[in-house]
Structure 1
C-alpha cells in the first residue's frame, strides 16, 4: 500500500480525522434507530415482525454493498466509497421527511421508510471498512488494532448519541426534524472527505477474489455474528421492551450501552496485543451473555440499565479482537476485501436479528427476547472456544 512518507509520531489526532467519517455516518443511522420501530408499530399500525423487517432492510442492503465497497477500496482507494456513502446518508433524510408527511397513509409512509432503510444500508456498506482502510493506508499497518478499536468507539458512540438525540428530536419535531439533520450531517461529511488526500493499493498482483477472502475470514465472522445478536436486541427492541414493562427512558439503555462500550475500548485498548484476539473474544462473549441475562431477569428499569452497560462492556472488544486475527489470515493486498467480508457478518447478524427477535416477541412475548439473545451469544462463546482449540491460538 502507498502510505504517507512522513507518518506522524502521535497518530491519535490524524486517526480521529479518519474515524470521524464513521462517527458521522453512524450518527445519522442512530438518529432513527430507536424511533422507527415505535413509529411503524404505534403510528402506522403494523406488527412487530413488520417493524423488525423494515429495520433489517438496512442490513440487507449493507450486506450487498460490502463486497462492492471492498472492491472500490482495493482498486481506487477508500475516498470514493466515503464520498458515496455521505451522499447516500443525505438522501435518507429526504425520504424520512416524505414518510413523515404521509404518516396518515400507512402503506405509502412505510414505502418511503423502506427506501430510507435501503439507502441507509447502502451508506453503511460503503462507510463500514473505508475509514479503517484509509487510516491504515495513511498511518501504517502497525496501528491496525488501535485503528479498528477507535473506529468502533466512533461507530457505537455515534449510535448511542444519535439514538438518544433522535428520540428528543422526534418528540419535538417528528421524523421531519431527524430528516433535516440527516441531510445536513451527510453534506458536511461529504465536504470534509472531498478535501482529504486519497490513498491507493499499489500491490494488486497477488490480490484474491472477494469470495475467496470471505471464506478465509468466515470462521471469525460467524463468531462475531452471534455476538452481534445482543447488540441487535438492545438497539432495535429496548424501547419497546421498556414500554412493555411501563418503564421510562428506554433510549437511555442505548446511551449506557454505548458509554460502557467506549469505556471498554479505551480502558482495555492493549489487551488484544497482550493476550491475543481469540482469548479476548472469549472473555467478551462471556461478559455480554451475563449482561443480557441481567436484562432478562431485571425487575426494574435500573437493573435493565445495568445489564445494558454490562452488555456494552462485553461487546466492546469482540469486533477488533476477531478482526485483527481475520486480517492476518489474508495478504495485505486483500485487506480492504477482508475487512469488508468480515464486516458482512455483523450485517448478517443485525439483518436476521430484527425479524427473528420480532418473531420471538410476537409468538412468546417481549419478555423472552433477551433470554433468547443471551442463548445466541452463548453459542458464539462456544464457537470462540472451538476456534481457539481448532486453530491453536
Structure 2
C-alpha cells in the first residue's frame, strides 16, 4: 500500500488531536462500563447472593471468554461494514449489560434468577466490548491514517487503563450508595455517552475485500500477537502478586510500587506515543522489553521495598509501548482490507494472556514462593525478546 493511500481516509484538514480525541474519549467511557462492575460483582455474587469463589470467578471470567471468541467476527464486521458500524452496535450492547444488572436488582426473582441476569450481562458485555473496542481502534486508524497506528494504539491504551483504574473504585462507591442497582445504572450510562460522541462522527469507508478465514489472519499476525501476550505476563503478575509479595516479605506500601508502575506507564504513553511510528516498531519493542525484563528481575531479587519499587517503575516504563509497537507490526502485516480483523485478533492475544497468567503463575508460586511470580514474568519477557528477530513484515498490498 502506498503512503498516499494510507492517508486516504484521514479527514482533510483534521489534526491528530481533533481526529483522535473523540475516539479516545469513547474508549474511556466504553471501558468504564467494563471495569465499573468488576469489584462490585464479586461482592454481590459472593457476599449478597452467597455463592462460592468458583462461581464468582466464573461469572467474572465469562466476559473475557465471550470477548475472545468474538474478536475475529468483530474485525470482519469492521472491514466489511466499516468500523463505525461495529461501534454503533457494540456500545448499545455494552449498555444493555447494565440493564441486565439493573433487572437483577429490581425484579422479584430468587438468587438463581439474579445470577442468571448477571451471567447474561457478562456475556452481552463480552460481545459489546469486542465490537466497540475493535471498532474504535480501527476507526482511529482510519481517521488518522495507517502511518500513525502507533499513536492510535498508545492513546487508546491510555484510555483503557485509565478506565480500568477509575472504574473499580467508582463501581464500589455506586454500590455503597445505591446497591448493585447503582452499578447497573453507571454501566448502562457510560456506553450511551460514548455512543453520543460516535454518532456525530462521519462514517469512514469499509475496507471491503473477501472474507478471510480466522487461521489466515492469525498466520500473519501471530508473532506480534505472541510478543504482546508474553509482555502482558508481567502486567498480570504485578496486579495479582505484588501486594502478596510485599506482605510475604513483611514490607508495607505495596501501593507505592503499583503507583510507580502506573505512573511510569502513563508517562511514557503521554510523552512518546509516536515512537513506534518514528523509529520503527521492532526497535522500540526491543528497548521496551529490555526495560521490562530488568524490572521483573529486580522484583524477583529485590532485597528491600525500595528496590522492588524501582523494579515496578522499570516494568511500567517497558510495558508501556509494547502494545502500540506490536500493534503497528500486526496491522502492517496484513492487507488494508484485513486491518480490522488484524486489530481484533491482535487484541485477543492480550485477552488470552490475562486469562491464563493468574492460574499458571499461582501454581508456580506454590512451588517456588511468591517471588517466583516475577521470575515467570522475566522469563516471559525474555522469550518475547528472543522472538522479535524472527519477525518479518508481510506485504501490505
Instruction: Measure the CA separation in 1 of the matches of 2:124 and 2:248.
Output: 31
The aligned length equals 387
Instruction: Measure the CA separation in 1 of the matches of 2:116 and 2:256.
Output: 29
Instruction: Measure the CA separation in 1 of the matches of 2:159 and 2:74.
Output: 19
Is the counterpart of residue 7 in structure 1 residue 26 in structure 2?
A: no
Instruction: Measure the CA separation in 2 of the matches of 1:302 and 1:109.
Output: 46
Is the 1:3–1:199 Cα contact (8 Å) retained in structure 2?
Answer: no
Deviations 1:316-338 (A, max 9, x none): 11111111112221111111111
- Report the counterpart of residue 312 of structure 1 in structure 2: 316
One of 186, 199, 214 as aligned partner of 2:204:
199
TM-score, normalization: structure 1? Answer: 0.81
Range that drifts further, 83-92 or 236-245: 236-245
Deviations 1:240-296 (A, max 9, x none): 777878988877876654433221112223432343212222222232233344555
Return the offset for 1:366: 5.6
Is the 2:87–2:133 Cα contact (8 Å) retained in structure 1?
Answer: no
TM-score, normalization: structure 2? Answer: 0.80
Alignment of 1:1-393 (within 5 A): 3=8, 6-34=11-39, 36=41, 44=50, 46-47=52-53, 52-97=57-102, 111-170=116-175, 172-201=177-206, 204=209, 208-235=212-239, 256-296=260-300, 307-360=311-364, 368-387=372-391
Tell me the SS of whatever aligns to 2:267.
helix
Deviations 1:322-364 (A, max 9, x none): 1111222111111111111212211121222244345556777
Instruction: Measure the CA separation in 1 of the matches of 2:158 and 2:287.
Output: 19
Instruction: Measure the CA separation in 2 of the matches of 1:369 and 1:133.
Output: 34
**Root mean square deviation, CA, Å:** 3.8
Is the 1:282–1:385 Cα contact (8 Å) retained in structure 2?
Answer: no
Range that drifts further, 50-59 or 193-202: 50-59
Is the 1:96–1:178 Cα contact (8 Å) retained in structure 2?
Answer: yes
Alignment gaps of 5+ in structure 2: none
Is the 1:3–1:138 Cα contact (8 Å) retained in structure 2?
Answer: no
CA gap 1:371/1:121 in 2 versus in 1, 3 angstroms: farther
